[in-house]
Structure 1
Amino acid sequence: MNTNKDSRNEPTKLLIVDDLPENLRALNAVIRADDRAVYQASSGEEALALLLEHDFALAILDVQMPGMDGFELAELMRGTDKTRHIPIVFVSAAGKELNYAFKGYETGAVDFLYKPLDPDAVRSKVNVFVDLHCQRMEIRRRSEEQQATNNELRAAQEELHYALRMRDEFMSMVAHELRTPLNTLYLETQMRRMQLDRGNLEAFGAESLEKMVARDGRQIQSMIRLIDDMLDVSRIRSGVLSIRPGWTELQDMLQRLTSDLSHQAQAAGAVFELDVKGPVNGWWDEFRIEQVIVNLLTNALRYGGGKPVRVTLAATEEHARVDVIDQGPGIDDGLQARLFLPYERGVGNGVPSGLGLGLYISRQLAEAHQGQLTVTSKLGEGARFTLVLPRGTPPV
């Protein structure tokens, strides 16, 4: 006889109820097995307490008990969600002429046995109900597994749809961001071709050529930055992003970068306020740390609402800390949670800008240095981006 256990390898639970201890002992001896747990109750009240605590495969109830008899107990079981599904077998020493069996079936019993009990018949009936219970448990387990699998598939489909949507949006962003400098270059070349066709060489004087070259350089650098960002994302995801640490000084770097970006700040109507207390050295990849700080500075200009951007540098023996603080509209909690994900873009002057890769790459670069890049912000109170780097020691 197959008596499979449930998925947690728990024994199948059986309940026997009789007011006579000798009857409980005798019935227990007949139905017990290694993969079963037989619970005994000597009254209806005691049985109810067990029924509410455990999930039984079968309840064998004596009909004639003082106080609550077996029929009353069965009616209570059928009236409770937790116990109404439990099969009930009645046992009685009364003669068949009392027609207890009919009343037992009326109360929902699946079988009715008369004493003295035939051990083989009892054992066979109990085995049937134990098998049915194990099959129900197996079906329930498989149903739960199927539901879990369906949920996983649904989640995977949603992730796939999200990935496809992000891919399409990303390709659209790339096309848009590249089109702007390309269109500018194209129009510039068309204008020059028109001047040449007209023989107007005065349009290519030294001052004009200098401006043309500067404009061309800006557009080319914009495209190079976009391509570099995409390459960095590919390197990060493939685990081949290279970090080449060297002895680096942050005070000079911040002074140089804020000076280099002063024209961009002026165009945004802002200024940099640099607060540094002295040189701060560390063992970092200078090019990559510059990349992070430039991203933070340009973001602060883009989203800072034309107000001053404060840049601070502080250090302990173990760590260096750079804070870039703008006075823009701030970042809500929902966006803060997504800000360092790839392709997430803020809105500056009402218009999304860039590919949404800068902060993602910057955090990855910070973590590649065993550091951290975080943001704190409240709506209406600007945003503070904090870069913390362990200073490290050069190899011997």
Structure 2
Amino acid sequence: MPDPTPLPPLSDPALLSDIAEIGRIKAVPRILETVAHITGSRFTAIARVTDTTWTACATYDTLGFGLVPGGQLMLETTICDEIRNSGTPVVFAHASQHPRFSQHHTPRIYGLESYASVPIFRPDGSFFGTLCAIDSAPGDFDEAHILRSMELLAELVGNYLDTEERLEKAQVELSDAHQVAELRDQFIAVLGHDLRNPLQSISIVTESLELEPHSDRQQRMYDHITASVTRMEGLVSDVLDFARGRLGGGIPLALRTADSLDNALQQVVNEVATATGRSDIAVHMQVAGNVMCDPNRLAQLLANLLTNAAQHGDSTAPIELDVQADSDALVLTVRNGGHIRSDRLASIFSPFSREKGERPRPGLGLGLYIAAEIARSHGGTLTVASSEGAGTAFTFRMPNVAA
């Protein structure tokens, strides 16, 4: 049997991609073996056929034809170019006795007697190539049966191609999304860090101005600047905490044995009451002994929960704070009369989880996310329960390992 016409090594990126795409389909070797079995042919292949090239993408060869994936034939020497133009399969069992193909150049060039080739279409209808089987000996098969079977297998290959394409596209999009998210979080971390330097400079200047004589108007301006700097410092701290949580390091803690945690938490209650105008915060605390924690971070957690209750809860219902601590655990619960819809509960601790159309509120929408991260850093949990009748309760639980 004549060797296939040699062509230069394949370098076309598009064709190399097509070969790789077929190579990723695990069922292709079994499909080619099945075609060989039903046709009795010793060479089967899946070929990518364009208007200028015939390229083997996968082969099964016990004939010694010599084509491997990436091997090419001159397009004009094949029947596949005719199949590409017509979209019609070609099947014959005995070329030398066939009324048409006994005179065709392809069987003569390659010494073929049996031949079966059907088009492979992608699900969108575009032509990819052919599924073919050849042999130098006549075939012993029913041409109509072979045609139906090979068309089914070619359709299977086409569907696999579509699945592989969509999977590859999804993987690329997922990788791009991960890279964008990582760059975004790194940018936020750098931005938050760099913003602190000018803020510290402003704070130093305002403290110096406070020591100098000034008019009532200057005092009001000074108070306004001080309040703005304090708020900006809080925003920058939230951004840094957010970045630490998202970059996987978690919010850092300065753990120590706190012997007056209840006093620190009560101070937070007083500050939030003043800042929000809520004088109806009912407090019940029973803190027995020491608590191993970062008191500043727990104060931040409580401030975020109380501020959230004041801003989003029912303003006509009091806010309740219950703190219970003993040698085993610390449990802190903030209740308010508001109600959170069930479809929002799953994402309540996600960053920037405000609903579209929600009226603007102070802050970045990171309070609950940061509170949950503080809870996690303490080895604890922050959960929420909400119903129209009972209102909303945020509960922080952590083990207490204080000596």
Structure 2 length as normaliser, TM-score?
Answer: 0.52
Distance 1:357 1:375, change over 3 A: same
1:242 deviates by 2.2
Change in 2 beyond 3 A, CA 1:5/1:349: closer
Q: Which amino acid letter does the alignment assign opposite residue 310 of structure 1?
A: E
1:339 aligns with 2:334: no
1:312 aligns with 2:322: yes
Q: Does 1:144 align with 2:163?
A: yes
Segment drifting more, 224-233 vs 298-307 = 298-307
Task: State how far apart, in whole Å, the 2-side matches of 1:300 and 1:320 are.
Answer: 20
1:364 counterpart = 2:373: yes
Per the TM alignment, residue 370 of structure 1 is displaced from its structure 2 partner at its CA by 1.6
Give me the whole-angstrom Cα distance separating, in 2, the residues matched to 1:281 and 1:124.
88
* Superposed displacement of residue 377, structure 1: 1.5
Task: Give 1:279's aligned residue.
Answer: 288
Q: Amino acid of the residue matched to residue 263 of structure 2? A: D
Partners of 1:235 and 1:366 in 2: CA distance: 14
Change (3 A) 1:244 1:163: closer
Question: Given that residues 41 and 139 in structure 2 are in contact (C-alpha distance below 8 angstroms), is that contact kept between their aligned partners in structure 1?
Answer: no
Aligned-partner Cα distance in 2 for 1:302–1:295:
10
- Residue 235 of structure 1 corresponds to 244
Is 1:253 the counterpart of 2:272? The answer is no
Q: 1:352 aligns with which of 345, 361, 367?
A: 361
Aligned to 1:384: 393
SS at match of 1:261: helix
Distance 2:356 2:166 in 1: 40
Task: Answer with 130-139 or 374-383: which moved more.
Answer: 130-139
In structure 1, C-alpha distance between the alignment counterparts of 2:390 and 2:357, rounded to whole Å: 15
**Residues 311 and 325, structure 1, Cα contact 8 Å, conserved in 2:** yes
In the alignment of these two chains, the number of paired residues is 297
Looking at structure 2, the residues matched to 305 and 383 of structure 1 have their Cα atoms a distance apart, in angstroms, of 10
Answer yes or no: is the 8 Å Cα contact 1:7–1:141 preserved in 2. no
The question of whether the paired residues in 2 share the 8 Å contact of 1:275 and 1:313 is answered with yes
Question: What displacement does 1:121 show?
Answer: 4.1
C-alpha distance in structure 1 between counterparts of 2:169 and 2:291, whole Å = 51
CA distance in 1, matches of 2:271, 2:395: 21
Structure 1 residue runs without a partner (length 5+): 16-26, 34-86, 90-109, 111-119, 167-195
Q: How does 1:317-328 map to 2 (within 5 A)?
A: 317-328=327-338
Change (3 A) 1:226 1:281: same
CA distance in 2, matches of 1:242, 1:272: 29
Q: How far does residue 157 in structure 1 lie from its aligned partner after superposition?
A: 7.7
Separation of aligned partners in 1, 2:395 and 2:389: 19
Could you say what secondary structure the match of 1:289 adopts? helix
Whether the 8 Å CA contact 1:283–1:391 is kept in 2: the answer is yes
**Secondary structure of the structure 2 residue equivalent to 1:338:** coil
- Alpha-carbon contact 1:280-1:320 (below 8 Å) kept: no
Provide the C-alpha distance between the structure 2 equivalents of 1:8 and 1:160, rounded to a whole number of angstroms.
33
- Following superposition, the deviation at residue 245 of structure 1 comes to 0.9
Bigger radius of gyration, 1 or 2?
1
Structure that is richer in helix per residue? 1
Matched ranges for 1:51-62 at <5 A: none
CA deviations over 1:80-101 (Å, ceiling 9, x no partner): xxxxxxx999xxxxxxxxxxxx
Q: Which 5+ residue runs of structure 2 have no aligned equivalent?
A: 1-22, 43-89, 93-115, 117-136, 186-213
C-alpha contact 1:345 1:355 (8 A) present in aligned 2: no
Letter matched to residue 355 of structure 1: L
SS at match of 2:374: helix
Shift of 1:156: 7.1
The alpha-carbon distance between structure 1 residues 88 and 347, as it changes in their structure 2 partners (threshold 3 A), is: closer
The question of whether the paired residues in 2 share the 8 Å contact of 1:310 and 1:325 is answered with yes
| Matched letter for residue 269 of structure 2 | T
RMSD value, Cα: 6.3
Counterpart mapping for 1:1-396 below 5 A: 7-8=26-27, 11=30, 121-122=138-139, 137-152=156-171, 203=216, 209=219, 215-238=224-247, 239=249, 241-249=251-259, 250-265=261-276, 267-268=277-278, 270-279=279-288, 281-306=290-315, 307-315=317-325, 317-328=327-338, 330-345=339-354, 350-379=359-388, 381-393=390-402
Distance in 2 separating the partners of 1:32 and 1:280: 86
The CA distance in 2 between the partners of 1:243 and 1:164, in whole Å, is 25
Distance in 2 between residues matched to 1:304 and 1:240, nearest whole Å? 29
Tell me how far apart the structure 2 counterparts of residues 146 and 263 of structure 1 sit (CA, whole Å): 59
**1:5/1:134 contact within 8 Å kept:** no
* Equivalent-residue separation in structure 1 for 2:303 and 2:24 (angstroms): 63
Residues 279 and 32 of structure 1: is their aligned pair in 2 closer, same or farther, counting only changes over 3 Å? farther
Secondary structure (helix, strand or coil) at the match of 2:346 reads helix
